[in-house]
Amino acid sequence: MSTEAGTQIAVITGGSRGLGRSMALHLADRGVDSIITFKGRADAAAAVVAEVAARGRKAIALQLDIANSTSFGAFADAVQGALRTSWGREQFDFLVNNAGTGASVPFLETTEATFDEMMLVHLKGPYFLTQRLAPLIADGGRIVNISSGLTRISFPGSSAYAMMKGGLEVLTRYLAKELAPRKISVNTFAPGSVATDFRGGAVRDNPEANRQIAAVTALGRVGLPDDIGGAIALLLAPENHWITGQRIEASGGMFL
């Protein structure tokens, strides 16, 4: 068993692709190791672990279905086992609740099944996963809940998704208050439109959508994963310990 007491460790849900992958790599560049989760793509997760190793840091991939809260106890045990085996630690430092999926359905056509999926993935899942993992977060640690620019900007077809992200933002403020005695800071980070495979690559692979988004964005383009991964790494830097209970948007200035 190796002991790396001085190493900071982040747990990043949905860390095998897109924004989560970028977060793990940017944190590795700043000397932070990671436990990333994946739902089904073990190969993609293994690729991120290899990329982190190429940067001189350590990452471990664990499977997690954020919609299945009955699995969270076993997942917490797996995290604790990984901490002990790979780092000689009992706790980690940062939790980034990033895993998610989208739904683009008009309000009048949204089914209960779609509503329930959005609730499980974006609200119930992060709520009870954070509850399970809170004892494993070191005092003075950080939690970042990934929300969306859609809680500020209303686009038709996103009511269920944005509603759950809005609930997550409220949870952020409550966690910031209730975990403050342990000096754990909790913030919401809200990306705007980013070119990833989210919603089947709806932004990344659609030139017309890119042009429309760029036209209403102050900085004149669609966001890229590294815009978000780099910002998360900065938010988790030691100098930002005094920021808590806040909603931080990284959208390039959409609809200012």
Query: Over the stretch 124-157, which tens digit does the pLDDT of each residue have?
Result: 999 999 999 999 999 999 999 999 999 999 989 9
The Cα angle at residue 78 between residues 74 and 82, in degrees rounded to 5: 170
| 155 Cβ contact partners less than 8 Å away, ≥ 6 residues apart | none
The Cα angle at residue 139 between residues 25 and 50, in degrees rounded to 5: 20
Mean pLDDT across the stretch 238-245? 97
Q: Does position 165 have pLDDT exceeding 90, yes or no? A: yes
How far apart (Å, rounded) are the C-alpha atoms in residues 205 and 57? Answer: 32
How far apart (Å, rounded) are the C-alpha atoms in residues 231 and 28? Answer: 13
Q: Does position 175 have pLDDT exceeding 70, yes or no? A: yes
Q: Does position 203 have pLDDT exceeding 70, yes or no? A: no
* pLDDT at residue 199 in the model: 59
Asked about 127 being catalytic, the answer comes back as no
pLDDT band, residue 211 (cuts 50/70/90): confident
More confident residue, 32 or 1: 32
User: Over the stretch 96-106, which tens digit does the pLDDT of each residue have?
Assistant: 999 999 889 99
Which domains occur in the chain, in start order?
8-246 (3.40.50.720)
User: Over the stretch 75-120, which tens digit does the pLDDT of each residue have?
Assistant: 999 999 999 999 999 999 999 999 999 889 999 999 999 999 999 9
Catalytic residue selected from 75, 127, 161, 198 = 161
pLDDT band, residue 5 (cuts 50/70/90): low
Give the residue among 42, 25, 190, 48 at the shortest CA–CA distance from 122: 190
Q: Does position 208 have pLDDT exceeding 90, yes or no? A: no
* pLDDT at residue 2 in the model: 37
Tokens standing for residue 96: 């980034």
b/e for 111-122, b at 16 or more Cβ within 10 A? eeeebebbbbbb
* pLDDT at residue 200 in the model: 59
* pLDDT at residue 206 in the model: 74
How far apart (Å, rounded) are the C-alpha atoms in residues 218 and 255? Answer: 8
> Measured over all CA atoms, what is the biggest interatomic distance in the chain, rounded to whole angstroms?
56
Instruction: Indicate the average pLDDT of the chain.
Output: 94
Q: Is 195 helix (H, G, I), strand (E, B) or coil?
A: coil
